[in-house]
Chains A and B, each alone.
Chain A
Amino acid sequence: KAGVTQTPRYLIKTRGQQVTLSCSPISGHRSVSWYQQTPGQGLQFLFEYFSETQRNKGNFPGRFSGRQFSNSRSEMNVSTLELGDSALYLCASSLDRGAEAFFGQGTRLTVV
């Protein structure tokens, strides 16, 4: 059974640009959550999607947005990139509410 797949693995963007990250969850999983990991702030929750609806949202500015498609694949978008957005962005998939969460390898975003 394939795990959680995130693309791309690495990304370098310029300040002010926007970026879209992709996540394919484990087959059959309907919940996809996104996290930002930085050395200073640790692992912080961005948002969760379940059956194409945003179910939870963390404390991030509106520049961070996401969506989920009917096949459960999810995308995360960050507009007007700032240097502080440089981080490892992780996607986790779960079968349902309260179920185990499995993480992908992450996308390493560097903003220059």
Chain B
Amino acid sequence: QQQVKQSPQSLIVQKGGISIINCAYENTAFDYFPWYQQFPGKGPALLIAIRPDVSEKKEGRFTISFNKSAKQFSLHIMDSQPGDSATYFCAASRGLTGGGNKLTFGTGTQLKVEL
């Protein structure tokens, strides 16, 4: 059972453009939603995370939008740069409600930013 669905699978964006990656979840007990960036040969690096009590969080060029009623959240990368080319994973956990730190991951989005 895939509890976190991520789309698109791959994305090509022009330099300076906006990259948008979407995720949808099923388990309403999830209370923590992070995004990770992974480069080839490296472990995932935490980019930004949000909890259900806010609808948006911005850190630099990265913004998470969260829609609790629709059970969806998305990552927006503003002014996308070639260095942003990587695989992005959304994830969810219910750490605050007894689920520990188990992360359920989406299937990943390969982002390529072209010059």
What distance in Å separates the Cβ of B103 from its nearest Cβ neighbour in chain A? Answer: 6
In the complex the two chains form, what is the Cα distance from A42 to B103 in whole Å? 12
B10: min CB distance to chain A, Å: 14
Q: B105 touching A101 by the CB < 8 A rule?
A: no
In residues 11-61 of chain A, which contact B (Cβ within 8 Å)? 31, 33, 35, 42-45, 48, 50, 55-56, 58
Among candidates A55, A97, A101, residue contacting B46 with C-beta atoms closer than 8 Å: A101
Asked if A90 is an interface residue, CB under 8 A from chain B, the answer is: yes
- Chain A proximity mask over B34-74: 1 for CB below 8 Å, otherwise 0: 10100001111110010000000000000000000000000
A45 and B42 form a contact (CB under 8 A): no
Number of interface residues of A (CB under 8 A): 27
Chain B residues numbered 84-115 whose CB sits less than 8 Å from any CB in chain A: 89, 91, 93, 95-96, 99-108
A-B pair count, CB < 8 Å, reads: 70
Are B43 and A97 touching (Cβ within 8 A)? no
* Residue among B44, B96, B108 facing the most chain A CB atoms (10 A cut-off): B44
Q: SS class of chain A's interface: helix, strand, loop or mixed?
A: strand
Interface size class, chain B: 20 to 34
- The answer on a CB contact under 8 Å between B46 and A48 is no
Taken residue by residue from 1 to 13, chain A's Cβ proximity to chain B (1 for < 8 Å, 0 otherwise) reads as 0001010000000
| Contact, CB under 8 Å: B44 / A98 | no
A102 to B105, CA, bound (A): 14
Q: Which 4 A-B pairs rank lowest in CB-CB distance, beginning with the nearest?
A: A98-B95, A103-B43, A98-B96, A43-B105
Interface, chain A (partner B; CB < 8 A): 4, 6, 31, 33, 35, 42-45, 48, 50, 55-56, 58, 90, 92, 94, 97-106
Contacts A92-B103, A94-B101, A105-B43 given; 7 further ones with Cβ under 8 A?
A33-B101, A33-B103, A44-B105, A48-B102, A55-B100, A98-B93, A103-B43
Chain B positions near chain A (C-beta within 8 angstroms): 31-32, 34, 36, 41-46, 49, 89, 91, 93, 95-96, 99-108
